[in-house]
Chains A and B, each alone.
Chain A
Amino acid sequence: MADTAHAAHVGAHLETHSETSTGLDSRKLAIWTFIGSECLFFASLIGTYLVYRGRSLVGPFPHEEWVSPAGVHFEPILEIKLVTVGTALLLFSSLFVVLALNGAQRGRRGQLLTWLGMTILCGMFFIGMQVYEFTHFVHKGLTIKTNLFGASFFTLTGFHGTHVTIGVIWLITVFILALRRKLPPEKALNLEIAALYWHFVDVVWVVIFPVVYLMK
């Protein structure tokens, strides 16, 4: 009886994964190809940030104080402590999503829902941190038009934040599928693909964090 059920389960798995010339699932190869192209996209943004680094003629500056010609004093603009917390949460979210995937692959619904929910919460906190940071910068006089630092900073971190937002929306849709019991083990690849995108967003931040916030 158990063997029959498992055979049916394997059959369903084979049905969902059509044969390919590589022997690999096309959707997984597609997401890896997309991630490869995204590497080039973020490389151009990070390269631009590095090229313009230290070239701003007027403040506010990331790590130095500045006094404007009108005599207004500006503090260094970056908030390292806040962003460190955001960075740690994004790293933990990567751990949580692999634990959720592990649960999905083993048919452990409780594990899947708990860790996926935690991942979504961490992602939302990160977005909240970035919204607060951007608002704070604008109030302190730094906008995308202020100087080269503002232009390259908002473009780079803004595009990353957009990717995080898309990732959170994607994970929420997978979470809803799991809640409706539409994510059985044989469909765990749906979560694995979303998780790969989420990990990529995380590794991009692993590069952005030291380059933008920690290097003077």
Chain B
Amino acid sequence: MDAQVAATPGTTPLDHDHDHPGPAVYVKIGIILFILTALEVAVYEVGYNHADAGFGAVLHPVVVPVLLLLSACKFALVAMFYMHLKSDSRLFSGVFVFPLVIAAVIICALVALFFYLHSLHY
């Protein structure tokens, strides 16, 4: 308690409990997220609309994995820095990541199952 009372005036005990990043880090992450979003749209434009020649032809077969990778990076950045999972209790990470893994498995299983069923009927 004494340590908390002796903390910098104007701050709250919450700051010391969680050690959240400051505004400078938040802005940097925001800029990275904006760049990643611009990259996603660029990958879509080049990979699909200019796929007949040049870099577009190279990019075309890998558009989906690249988009998924960029999306995963954005997801991780928001979860780690804005939702503070990087600095908060690991219990919160567990409560979030465990259902997230189940969710990913559900999506993959559904897609695989219906792809298989569709191949049987057509």
Contact = CB atoms under 8 A, between A and B. Distances in A.
Given A50-B110, A95-B26, A107 B99 contact: no
A44 B106 contact: yes
Interface stretch (A125-133, A138-146, A149-157, A181-189): A181-189
Interface of A: 2-3, 6-7, 9-10, 13, 22-24, 28-29, 32-33, 35-37, 39-40, 42-44, 46-48, 50-51, 55, 63, 80, 84, 87-88, 91-92, 94-95, 97-99, 102, 105-107, 185-186, 188-189, 195-196, 199-200, 202-203, 206-207, 209-211, 214-216
B111 A106 contact: no
Interface SS of chain A: helix
Contacts of B56: none
Contacts of B120: none
A69 B36 CA distance: 41
A215 B30 contact: no
Nearest to A96: B30
B5 interface: yes
Interface SS of chain B: helix
A51 B111 contact: yes
Contact of B63 (A13, A55, A102, A215): A215
Interface in B1-38: 1, 4-5, 9-15, 20, 22-23, 26-27, 29-30, 33-34, 37
B70 interface: yes
A207 B75 contact: yes
Contact of A39 (B22, B100, B111): B100
Interface in B88-114: 89, 91-92, 95-96, 98-100, 102-104, 106-107, 110-111, 114
Contacts of B83: 196, 199-200
A43 B99 CA distance: 10
Given A50-B111, A94-B78, A102 B26 contact: yes
